[in-house]
Structure 1
Amino acid sequence: MLNRRGFVSTALAAIAAPLATRAFAQASRIPAYAFSFPALSGEDIRLAAFSGRPFIVVNTASLCGYTPQYAGLQELWSEFRARGLTIIGVPSNDFGGQEPGGVTEISETAHHQYGVTFPITAKAVVVGPKAHPFYKWAAEARPKDVPRWNFHKYLIGRDGLIAEVFPSAVDPTDTRVKTAVAKALTES
């Protein structure tokens, strides 16, 4: 039989152990800089190239009701690019089959229709067991904040970890996004 003090000590140890393990796992987690994407044009987009700078990774689609967000993403990039922000568009056909085309069709929509000049990756899977490693990493880091539709935005901070997440319905020019980007740019 345990006395009251022994019981309390055992109970506290049982509570503290998982918390300590979780804190260690968070502290030892690899940053987003460990990943790369094949670019739409063929070469790799290595996230390590953005080390120490914030960037946004957003899954895109050419035939979505949110596709006009390409213009807002370009506007956001134009506003903050000189201060160090990068935006990386990741075309995906995961939601509603709204990115059925290949390189030519994706380029036509992003570059010609919306004037996008930020980097665009090759088409990738962003949810499920076949998801790109970046998206698997993001899902593990923020399991409640996985993409549920096109134009889901991850803001990666200077430390390479997820700073903020913005769902599809939040426009890239929304004050919340701009405030989070400005904050990420000023943090050291």
Structure 2
Amino acid sequence: MKTVSSLALVFTMMTGGLALAADSVHDFKVKSLEDKEVNLADYKGKVLLVVNVASRCGATPQYEQLQALHQKYSEQGLVVMGFPCNQFGKQEPGTAKQIQEFCDSTYQVKFPMMAKIDVNGDNQADLYKFLKSHAGETDDVKWNFEKFLIGKDGKVVA
């Protein structure tokens, strides 16, 4: 019986159950826009603002406010994290290099930018499965620039 339970746990973790089994965002690893692994456990003790972003959206000027938040509060422990997503109106069609160039030249973004991901659907990132399942009010991300606030303990606050 123990073997069956262990196999069920392994299967669940391999098929996306990791997002539901995780205790906090600190249990996740993501990829940066430069394709480097980012261990979210490195952000223990920091407040995270996780945002799905897009370069060709009417809400794209929010990059300016996100950068202002980063500048003003990063020394106090706030980390803004951008996750490009092309699921809403195909408004983030660029490559990682194009996204980085756009963010640098248009909004002088200095906060961490992650690799392009899906935030909904069959291919959604495990981090977003976790965020949505712990946010309480959302089943799916509705559009670009939806935000999740994560406390210092890695728990979803809002």
Any stretches of 5+ residues in structure 1 without a counterpart? 1-27, 165-188
**CA–CA distance in structure 2, aligned partners of residues 159 and 107 of structure 1:** 29
Which of 82, 105, 113 lines up with 2:106 in the alignment?
Answer: 113
Moved over 2 A (4+): 142-146
- 1:129 Cα shift? 2.2
Could you tell me which runs of 5 or more consecutive residues in structure 2 were left unpaired when the two chains were aligned. Answer: 1-20
**Aligned partner of 2:75 among 73, 78, 82:** 82
- CA distance in structure 2 between the partners assigned to 1:44 and 1:69 by the alignment: 26
Deviations 1:27-83 (A, max 9, x none): x86101111211111211221110121111100001000111111000001110010
Residue 132 (structure 1) aligned to one of 92, 115, 125: 125
Q: Percent identity?
A: 37
Q: Which amino acid aligns with 1:140?
A: S
Structure whose alpha-carbon radius of gyration is higher: 1
Q: Which residue of 1 is the match for residue 115 of structure 2?
A: 122
Name the Cα RMSD after superposition: 1.4
- Alignment partner of 1:150 is 2:144: yes
CA gap 1:29/1:108 in 2 versus in 1, 3 angstroms: closer
The alpha carbon displacement at 1:110 in A equals: 1.1
Which residue of the partner structure matches residue 65 of structure 1? 58
Cα distance in 1, alignment partners of residues 25 and 87 from structure 2: 22
CA separation in 2, counterparts of 1:32 and 1:108? 28
Q: What letter corresponds to residue 47 of structure 2 in structure 1?
A: P
The corresponding residue for 2:49 is 56
Q: Calculate the TM-score normalised by the size of structure 1.
A: 0.69
Q: TM-score, normalised by structure 2?
A: 0.82
Give the corresponding residue for 1:161: 155
- Specify which structure has the bigger relative contact order, considering alpha-carbon pairs within 8 angstroms and separated by 6 or more residues: 2
Q: What's the secondary structure of 1:108's corresponding residue?
A: helix
Q: What secondary structure is seen at the aligned counterpart in 1 of 2:67?
A: helix
Aligned pair count reads: 137
1:30 corresponds to 2:23? yes
Matches of 1:111 and 1:57 in 2, distance apart? Answer: 19
Q: SS in structure 2 opposite 1:163?
A: coil
